[in-house]
Amino acid sequence: MSLASDQARPGAAEKPTLYKRIRLDIETRILTGEWPPGHRIPFEHQLMARYRCSRMTVNKALSELAQADLIERRRRAGSFVRRPQHLSAVLKISDIRAEITALGRSYGYQLIDCRRRTATAADRARLGVSTAGKVIAIACRHSADNVPFAVEDRLIDLSTVPEAATADFAHEPPGSWLLHHVPWTEAEHTISAVVADDRTAKALDIAVGSPCLVIDRYTWRSARTVTAVRLHYPGETHRLVARFKGG
């Protein structure tokens, strides 16, 4: 209850808005363990009194904490510090070109194969569609500073993205093209490990039998399949980093 001393500290940073201060105060207490899981947070009217503000203001702070799953709010009972069930991490998977250039390395792209065809049974299974429309199948390679970085094997559903028929995948990687032409998709990623087969090893310039990290991404847009892609990364050099948020 030693809260009343937060007023106008001379060295303190720019005063943020009040609701943000309330939110940060509570968040800090939770994260430091001062308020452990199950602990009941002061009622809204108590926080109103402590911070001398209206209920809407503390409500905004608490609502955001609830949205972030840090607290649980129960009618009539109060708000409680949550115990997280499973730790979840946010994994950022950039466009490969962006990822490489962000590292300050030169990006290289080679189209290995690109063909347009009517979807085979295998294509339909991979895209999760039942009708046999046209698709584009692409194999290509990404490199950083002229060292192979990843090989890509992709299928694009032309019935969802007809514009892709006219795209020039000889010079622009399909991932970048799709990112700029098909916004706001949803995706599911599956990450696994394999050893490089002959073809993959050759494309990545690694030994057959080397470990590879595989990312399968299946992308859709309001219930319509956009693309399915499989990326092979050399597992000894490439790492996926996911950070933050846990319990």
Partner DNA sequence: CACGATTATATGTCTAGACATATAAGTCAA
Partner DNA sequence: TTGACTTATATGTCTAGACATATAATCGTG
197-228: b (≥16 Cβ within 10 Å) or e: eeebbebbebeeeeebbebebbbbbeeebbbb
59 binds, among DNA, a second copy, none (CB under 5 to 8 A by kind): DNA
Judged by CB under 8 A, does residue 104 bind a second copy?
Answer: no
CB count within 10 Å of CB 231 equals 23
Measured between alpha carbons, how far is 43 from 57 in angstroms, rounded to an integer? Answer: 13
Judged by CB under 8 A, does residue 10 bind a second copy?
Answer: no
- How far out from the chain centre does Cα 20 lie? 25
20 binds, among a second copy, DNA, none (CB under 5 to 8 A by kind): DNA
- The binding track of 48-77 with respect to DNA, each residue x by CB under 7 A or -, is ----xxxxxx-xx-xx--x------xxxxx
88 binds, among a second copy, DNA, none (CB under 5 to 8 A by kind): a second copy
- The binding track of 70-109 with respect to DNA, each residue x by CB under 7 A or -, is ---xxxxxxx------------------------------
Distances (CA, A) of 139 to 113, 163, 199: 5, 19, 12
Judged by CB under 8 A, does residue 193 bind a second copy?
Answer: yes
Nearer to DNA, 54 or 190 (CB): 54
76 binds, among a second copy, DNA, none (CB under 5 to 8 A by kind): DNA
Out of 3, 24, 33, 43, the residue judged to bind DNA by CB under 7 A:
43
**In the complex, what is the shortest distance from the CB of residue 220 to DNA, in angstroms, rounded to a whole number?**
29
Neighbouring residues of 209: CB distance < 8 A, sequence distance ≥ 6 = 195, 196, 201
Measured between alpha carbons, how far is 120 from 106 in angstroms, rounded to an integer? Answer: 37
Count of residues in contact with a second copy, rule CB under 8 A: 62
DSSP letter (8 states) at residue 168 = -
**In the complex, what is the shortest distance from the CB of residue 63 to DNA, in angstroms, rounded to a whole number?**
6
Measured between alpha carbons, how far is 157 from 163 in angstroms, rounded to an integer? Answer: 11
Helix or strand holding residue 107 (H, E): strand 107-118
57 binds, among DNA, a second copy, none (CB under 5 to 8 A by kind): DNA
Helix or strand holding residue 244 (H, E): none
Q: List, as one string, the DSSP characters of 114-154.
A: EEEEE--HHHHHHHT-SS--EEEEEEEEEEETTEEEEEEEE
Which residues of the chain form contacts with a second copy (CB under 8 A)? Answer: 30-33, 36-37, 56, 64, 67, 70, 81, 83-95, 98-99, 179, 183-195, 209-214, 219, 221-222, 233, 235-236, 238-247
Which residues of the chain form contacts with DNA (CB under 7 A)? Answer: 17-20, 41, 43-45, 52-57, 59-60, 62-63, 66, 73-79
